[in-house]
Amino acid sequence: MAQLIFTPIPTGEAQAYWSGGTDAHGMQPERRISDGSGIPCRHCLRAVGAGEPYLILAYRPFPEPQPYAEVGPIFLHAEPCKTYDDREHLPTVFANGESRIIYGTGKVVAPEEIVPYAETLLSDPKVAYLHVRSSQNNCFSFRLDRNTVGAAD
């Protein structure tokens, strides 16, 4: 059993944006057409294909506002997509050679270092979960949680 769970943005939040809801700044998401490069959807954790519509919106990946609840831009397919369900493996769209920032550490790591470094951080009982962000633009990518299914008590 994997020690980590890769968690996309919740389907309910994605549905709110698809239904015309406003983003973390109270604005309507911007609608664009993908050129096929560098547009990872934060719900299905796959790339938005060339010619497909997508949304750009301000996202706060925390449950409520507080001083450390950063807001940043994310991409989302403009039309409903299936949530990422291979929760035990790094989504391939994020394993393409671009390094990522693990939220709260300021450390940039190569894709092959994401899992071992995350496991190190999550071994600290004070760390509840991690946010993985783009090293290029600091955009929220996905959340990492401990996999407690089947864990010994």
What pLDDT is attached to residue 100? 55
Range from 71-85, 103-117, 130-144 carrying the lowest mean pLDDT: 103-117
Whole-model pTM: value is 0.75
Q: How far apart are CA 76 and CA 74, in angstroms?
A: 7
Give me the mean pLDDT over the 36-60 stretch: 94
Read off the pLDDT band of 23 (50, 70, 90): very high
* Higher local confidence (pLDDT), 26 or 148: 26
Could you tell me the pLDDT band of residue 126, with boundaries at 50, 70 and 90? confident
- Going from N- to C-terminal start, the domains of the chain cover 4-146
Summary mean pLDDT of the chain: 88
pLDDT of residue 116 exceeding 80: yes
Mean pLDDT of 5-17: 96
Backbone angles phi, psi at 120, to 5 degrees: -65, -50
Per-residue confidence (pLDDT) for residue 101, from 0 to 100: 45
Reading the block at residue 76, the tokens are 């989302």
Assign 105 a pLDDT band (cuts: 50, 70, 90): low
**Phi/psi at 90 (5° precision):** -60, 125
Band of pLDDT at residue 102, cut at 50, 70 and 90:
very low
For residue 99, the surrounding DSSP H or E stretch is none
